[in-house]
Amino acid sequence: MSKMSYTLEENSAHRLHLADVETRPAFLRGWERVRHRQAHWAIEMLAEMFGVFFYCYAGVGATAAYVLANALKMTTLASLLTIGFAYALGVVLALVVASGTSGGHFNPAVTVTWVLFKGMPVAKGARYIFAQILGGYLTCLLIYLQYRTLIRDVEGVLIATGTYDAVQFTPAGPAGIFALYAPSPTLGLIFINEFVVDFFIGMVIFTCMDPTNFLAPPVMGPWLVGFAYAVAIWSYSPVGLAANAARDVGGRLAALTIWGSAASGGSYAAIAALTNIPATLLAYVVYQVIFTDSSRVITNAQKEFRAGHLAHMEHRHSVSSRSHLMQPNSPDLEKGTEQRVEHHRH
């Protein structure tokens, strides 16, 4: 008997599904059969979009309050501290709300890592990245709509004082809320700052995904990743930091939509959009080489976490009428379940 089938049989004695305790309306039960089969790819894309929405809606909103309040000389509690907390809580909410459906990438760098090292199909990875960037783009446009009156007030002040051209497309200007602009012309140092910080965040992400780490149980993962982002913002965002291509490219496209080509960001745009990808890949390799050890014990919390996803896979195949996959020793079930559990671990 394989390890996977043993886990399925062991888990079957005590699993409890939502369907066992709650009867959903017939149209929702029918929809679930569709979403488990024909629409599953679309549901995963929507989950990635919603995850980026929570992350960006929290962080970019706090940035808007900070930038606009400073420009209008308003008394405000907004600060770099509040922006860091906002992004941290946005990451937590994104992972809590949407990671159970898509695996919780919410970052093209994580998706590229999965394609290169975890066997994620290239087409699926491309769909994820498209959904992530679209989520960032739509979220930034929504935030612009909500802040439109204040943004126009600030632009009026900048025009009246003759500082519009000097300030608008900088971190202190309204466009800087959505698109990132270099705070200094020293692009080499900005690249180093971006790379090291993104490597730091990547190490925390892969630590939280390590099933043998007793100090990082699944329930703590969202908080640890969220506060890694907060530390990065508190400590290094004044130097110039993007940290997530979904937020950066989506925000850049939103700024281009609103203000035109003047919002392009020049050479810095490429650094902001692409640096986190090789940095995250390096973090994965370093963690695997130095910190991963096959002899370590998987924690009880991780066993429960993985068993839950195994039971979900078994039940999902059942309601989708795929009876041939329900045999305990089915190679297809074992392969698909292993991939799904690995996909959801972070």
pLDDT in tens, 198-224: 999 999 999 999 999 999 999 999 999
Q: Which of 237, 196, 221 is nearest to 82 (CA)?
A: 237
Q: Which of 61, 146, 52 is nearest to 108 (CA)?
A: 52
**DSSP state for residue 290 in the 8-state scheme:** I
Query: The pTM is what?
Result: 0.85
Q: Which two tokens stand for residue 273?
A: 């959009």
Long-range contacts (CB closer than 8 Å, 24 or more residues apart) made by 297-306:
297/212, 298/211, 298/212, 299/211, 299/212, 299/213, 299/214, 299/217, 301/217, 301/218, 301/219, 302/211, 302/212, 302/217, 302/218, 305/218, 305/345, 306/7, 306/211, 306/341, 306/345
Give 79-123 pLDDT, tens digit per residue: 899 999 999 999 999 999 999 899 999 999 999 999 999 999 999
The Cα 162–Cα 85 span in angstroms is 34
Q: Which of 283, 155, 97, 130 is nearest to 122 (CA)?
A: 130
Q: What are phi and psi of 187, to 5 degrees?
A: -65, -30
Give 10-32 pLDDT, tens digit per residue: 455 567 877 778 788 887 877 77
CB–CB of 87/223 below 8 Å? no
**DSSP state for residue 1 in the 8-state scheme:** -
- Output the pLDDT for position 199: 98
Lowest mean pLDDT among 66-80, 299-313, 332-346: 332-346
The Cα 207–Cα 92 span in angstroms is 16
Q: Collect all residues with Cβ–Cβ distance below 8 Å to 106 and sequence separation of at least 6.
A: 48, 51, 52, 55, 91, 94, 95, 98, 132, 244, 246
**What is the band of 73 on the pLDDT scale with cuts at 50, 70, 90?**
confident
- Output the pLDDT for position 333: 41
Give 226-263 pLDDT, tens digit per residue: 999 999 999 999 999 999 999 999 999 999 999 999 99
